[in-house]
Amino acid sequence: AMAAVRDAEIDPEGTFKYILVRLQRPGGGEQRDIVRGTKAAEFHNHIFEKVNPEMEKLGYECKCLGGGKIEHNSKDKKIRVFGLSTGYGKADHSVTVEILKKEYTDYEITWSDDKK
């Protein structure tokens, strides 16, 4: 079920790239957006190349809606969403923040159009 897919999977600490991905059942129907981010990705498409096959196995089509960066400070319980992806364009950071709030309920989460 789509509910089994976590809303957000990001690294526990640091500043790293992220993408906003739309999952959809082939032929339309149910869809939802998820956030994935990691320091391991040099480029935004590296994240998508990892997420896409995982989601295809579960029977979903994936579309990258854009990207940016996340600054995750677990000690202070703060997350900042900013920047953009050269390849995918800028994700709607306000959507990303709403998704992150589901996973990080006790965090202060902000976003901006700043590049750094």
Residue 55 lies in a domain: yes
Is position 77 annotated in a ligand binding site? no
Residue 64 lies in a domain: yes
Q: So which residues are the catalytic ones?
A: 44
Helix (H, G, I), strand (E, B) or coil at 95: helix
Beta strands across the sheet bearing 8-10: 8-10, 31-38, 14-24, 61-73, 78-82, 108-111
Distance CA 93, CA 76 (A): 21
Residue 2 lies in a domain: no
Parent domain of 83:
8-112
**How many domains are contained in the chain?**
1
Residue 67 lies in a domain: yes
CATH number of the domain bearing residue 87:
3.50.20.20
pLDDT (0 to 100) of residue 4: 83
Distance CA 21, CA 23 (A): 6
pLDDT (0 to 100) of residue 16: 98
pLDDT of the chain, 116 residues: tens digit per residue:
677 899 999 999 999 999 999 999 988 788 999 999 999 999 999 999 999 999 999 999 999 999 999 999 999 999 999 999 999 999 999 999 999 999 999 999 999 999 88
What are the φ and ψ backbone dihedral angles of 39, each rounded to 5 degrees?
A: -70, -25
